Each structure stands twice: as C-alpha cells, then as structure tokens.
Structure 1
Amino acid sequence: MPTTVPISDDSIRLGQFLKLAGLADSGADARALIEEGEVTVNGEPELRRGRQLRKGDVVAVDDPRGSNSAEVG
C-alpha cells in the first residue's frame, strides 16, 4: 500500500513529487531515476520529469534498495 503524500495545489510535477515523497534525495537523483526508467506512474513507465501528477496518481520507484511507492494526496 503506497504512502499518501499531500500536495497543496491541484497538480505537481513528477520530479518535484519524487523529492517531496522522499523517493529521491535531490533533483539530480530524481532526474537520474526517471532517465534510467526506474519510475512508473499508475503502473506505466514514465520518462518525463515534468509529467503533471494529480491526486490519486501512484508513483513507484524501483532502485537497488527495493521498490517504494507513494500516492499523490
């Protein structure tokens, strides 16, 4: 079950959300995860850092530490 991470607006960019949810340590880390194909949004691979996420979207990251996910709340 993914952790729900509240946002203040109606949408948030994927790169920003990765940092907010603690799925990436920095903007550079978020960019690398996305470019390497480690990030999915609602189960689909996502390669666009600027992808707009809305409430209810689920972001998952597969990295050497395992898989983590968070829901936009």
Structure 2
Amino acid sequence: MSAQTILFELDREHVKLDNLLKLTGVCDSGGAGKHLVASGAVTVDGEPESRKTRKLRAGQVVRVGGIEIRVVDIGG
C-alpha cells in the first residue's frame, strides 16, 4: 500500500513542523502536532524528527504513518 501524498505550497521562507501538520489536516491543532512529533511518529527527509518547531523549506518531505507531505514552492 502506498502513502497518501499531500503537496503543501509554501508561500513564505519556511513553515514550522507543528504548524505544517495542522495546516495539512494531519492534526486538529498545533498542540496535537507537537504531541505527534514528541511521540516519535514523524520523519523529515527520512530521519526521525523530535524538534516540534523545526523550520521546513521547499523540497523537504515529512512522513507521518501512511501520509507523505511534500513541501513545494508556491509556484510548483
């Protein structure tokens, strides 16, 4: 079974990891996103990530369970 892929169009320099999880609908709130990261369930570019407010930029890939979030420039 393949992962569900979400493209997140970045309209600024970066987005914080907990906020990205909220904005993409993976979590209901930033607080829930922080708990998810703290649980060890999140990877960034294939590496486990524990920094709840890690700054993500275009080109990075976040995975949570069966969900893959690709951060892309707003232009594509």
After TM superposition, the score normalised by the length of structure 1 is: 0.85
Which residue matches 2:39?
36
Q: 2 CA distance for matches of 1:10 and 1:28? A: 22
- Is the deviation greater in 18-27 or in 28-37? 18-27
The Cα of 1:52 is off from its aligned counterpart by: 0.7
Which residue matches 1:16?
19
SS in 2 for 1:6: strand
Unaligned regions of 5+ residues in structure 1, if any?
none
Equivalent pair of 2:18/2:31 in contact (CA under 8 Å):
no
Question: How many residues are treated as equivalent by the alignment?
Answer: 69
Unaligned regions of 5+ residues in structure 2, if any?
none
Equivalent pair of 2:38/2:50 in contact (CA under 8 Å):
yes
Larger Rg: 2
SS in 1 for 2:70: strand
After TM superposition, the score normalised by the length of structure 2 is: 0.82
Q: 2 CA distance for matches of 1:21 and 1:56? A: 16
SS in 1 for 2:36: helix
How many percent identity over aligned positions? 38
* Structure 1 position 59 matched with structure 2 position 62: yes
